[in-house]
Amino acid sequence: MKISLVRGDITEQQVDAVVNAANSSLLGGGGVDGAIHRRGGPAILDECRKLRASHYGGGLPTGQAVATTGGRLPARWVIHTVGPVYSASDDRSGQLASCYRESLRVADELGAASVAFPAVSAGIYGWPMDDAARIAVETVRSTPTQVSDTRFVLFTPDAYTAFERAVGT
């Protein structure tokens, strides 16, 4: 699997699927989630509402992933995953790793060959960027998948630098 880093906007990525750092409601929010919903348009929200009504009335559980259309995004699909809120006293790293594993599992089910990931949980959920990058890269590298092109799309210079260290470039 090819792993690359991109400094930029995940909503502009020409990939089969983008991963959304969603909140459990699946109904949009701030950060990456809000940007994906705004750029992708109402088709994404419509599918999220249907998923919520049929399967996730209480919200998508942390560490799980589900796919919708990409709407008006260049990507065909959006894979929504709910990252854990960081806690210094409660190790939730397994939940964070699950976000990446489950997203790759969904990508395989879709037949996606290329996937763009944000730094899940490293924004308003407060995960320290270096640790989030390490968990993301280690998990993606160790997860069996048919995805051949994985990219981490980082919005800030600090995030990009943390992922560079994790990738070892």
- The encoded tokens of residue 137 equal 């890269």
CB 63 within 8 A of CB 102: yes
The question of whether 130 is a catalytic residue gets the answer no
Listed in sequence order, the residues at least 6 apart from 88 whose beta carbon sits closer than 8 Å to its beta carbon are: none
Helix, strand, coil: what percent of the chain each, to 5?
40, 20, 40
CA distances from 113 to 2, 6, 32 (A): 11, 17, 22
12 residue type, one letter: E
Give me the catalytic one of 33, 108, 130, 149.
33
Cα dihedral 57, 58, 59, 64, rounded to 10, equals: -100
Active site residues: 33
